Amino acid sequence: MHDVLASVGGESRQLKIKISNNEAHYSFADFSDPSIRRASLFTDPKSKMRYFFGVFPIQYLHHDDRINPRTIGGSLKGLIEEFYAGRPQLHVALAWWAPNASDEGPLKVFDGQHKAAAQILLGVTELPIRVFVQPDLKILLQANTNAGDTLKQVAFDMAVKRHLGNALYRERLIEYRHAKSLSEDDESFSERDLVSHFKGSRRETQKYVLDALRNSISIDPDNRMMDYVEMAGKGIERPISYSAIEKTFFSTFLYLKPLDVPLNHLDDQGKNPRFLERHQLVQLMNLFAEEFLIGYWEAESAISRIEYRVQQNQPISEKHLAAHRLTREEIMHAVLEYVALVIKNFYAYTGEHLDPERLMQVQHPDALWSRLRIFLKNVRGLPCWIDRNLSGTVFGSKQSKDYWMSIFKTGVAAGGTKVLTEPIAIQKMIAA
């Protein structure tokens, strides 16, 4: 929505509103329209929030990517066709307004962005909006999150839910510090303390803690693998869906329970468990991307139903085929299970203790990272990923992680098809 608005001069004006006698008075004076508009001000009987309806030039509209971080998806084309056919907008967009020190503020649109974008792209220059006046943003954030999650009024993609959960986690931190009379940057309490404090919503707060953890990894600017991840569902140009990342990397390597140590535990030594977990999982994802995707996945050659096309003898490069197969969710999950075994075996060999549930919360030495790179490189070198004869059998349909774990252990598929020349032996696979 931000990109669409920016392309047509949106997000360039602030609005000044005066409340008088249950009316909202405003004008577009800095847009060559000094006439005063008056709109009846209503109060929601349950939330007690005040709001009014108006029609606003797009220059005054700003996208709220905090309450609604959703990208504009594939439904935009259908909406453009709908409006082009002359059919009306059935539901107005939602926005909120709050004044700054100069009694002005942006209209922050947080709902209805698809309909707004479709009309803007058709040349519409003003849109109807329901405007909440100086609302409690925590309540709006929670209401919008629930609409796309627990209530499923609008199906939010998992990545969006994590982003919203992260925002709610930040709100919980503010509330906790205020309740405990702590400074705004105090981190002397633990995730468990935070969850326990919100007694009536412990489950939700725990979810927000973990949402923030997942979100921090997926938006890390150093995470090169996210260039190959489709954040909204599953596309063609990118081989991996965000949900697959959650079911593989996150489920295998993240400790998905609140920690009992302070948020700033061992910060001064660079060994904070959550910091190490985030940093090292990004490092592992980068290894995966470097060995399986970068230079192998060809976005310009991306097509649907790759295995079917292989069976039809259509031209597909070996490196692209291998990248496609190695990023199938069930195969990726099985490979990562073996990565976890490489990590555990390293510590068993050195005699150091390693909590199997917290694989990434200890700082791994360079020697282990070298082994992991060699292992992934050798996995990529297995002939099965470019064997076109396996397209109609082993790769013909989606299998389970356990199906591929069995292949890795025995070299043979459940139906008897020989897939590997020999079972995967970790010691051989970490040998350069």
Q: How confident is the model at residue 301 (pLDDT cuts 50, 70, 90)?
A: confident
Contact, 248 vs 339, CB < 8 A? no
Q: Is residue 400 part of a domain?
A: yes
Tell the burial category of 33 from Cβ atoms under 10 Å away from its Cβ (0-12, 13-18, 19+): exposed
Q: What is the pTM of this model?
A: 0.70
Residue 141 inside a domain? The answer is: no
Q: What is the pLDDT of residues 341-378, one digit of tens each?
A: 999 999 999 899 999 999 999 999 999 999 999 999 99
φ and ψ of 34, to 5 deg: -80, -5
Cβ neighbours, 10 Å, residue 90: 7
Note whether 124 and 248 are same-domain residues: no
How many CB atoms within 10 Å of residue 154? 14
- Return the closest-CA partner of residue 69 out of 210, 231, 220: 231
Q: Which of 101, 135, 169 is the last residue of a domain?
A: 135
Three-state SS at 370: helix
What local confidence, expressed as pLDDT, does residue 32 receive?
A: 79
Specify the pLDDT at position 153: 46
Q: Are 325 and 306 in contact (CB under 8 A)?
A: no
Structure tokens at 30: 């800095």
List, for residues 136-192, the tens digit of each pLDDT value: 998 988 887 777 665 444 445 677 778 778 888 999 999 999 999 999 999 999 999
The rounded Cα 168 to chain-centroid distance in angstroms is 15
Who's near 76: CB < 8 A, 6+ residues apart? Answer: 114, 117, 118, 121
Domain for residue 20, yes or no? yes
288 inside domain? yes
Q: Is the dihedral of CA 374, 375, 379, 382 positive or negative?
A: positive
Whichever domain contains 37, its CATH number is 3.90.1530.10
Does residue 409 sit within a domain?
A: yes
Please indicate, yes or no, if residue 289 is contained in any of the structural domains.
yes
Asked, for residue 387, whether it belongs to a domain, the answer is yes
Are 95 and 238 members of one domain? no
pLDDT tens-digit map of 192-251: 999 999 988 899 999 999 999 999 999 999 999 999 998 876 667 889 999 999 999 999
Q: Give the residue from 368, 296, 382 showing the smallest Cα distance to 335.
A: 382
Residue 208 lies in a domain: no
- 135, 165, 196 - which closes a domain: 135
Q: Using alpha carbons, list the distances in angstroms from residue 12 to 35, 105, 118, 251.
A: 20, 11, 20, 43
User: How many CA within 13 A on the CB side of residue 197?
Assistant: 17
* Element at 107 (helix H, strand E): strand 107-111
Question: Do the beta carbons of residue 55 and residue 127 sit within 8 Å?
Answer: yes
In terms of domains, do 396 and 290 share one?
yes
Check if the beta carbon of residue 231 is closer than 8 Å to that of residue 159: yes
418 and 270, same domain (yes or no): yes
- Residue 97 and residue 239 in one domain: no
| Containing structural domain, residue 233 | 220-429
The number of distinct structural domains making up the chain is 2
Residues 251, 395, single domain; the answer is yes
Same domain, 229 and 357: yes
State CA 255 to chain mean position distance: 18
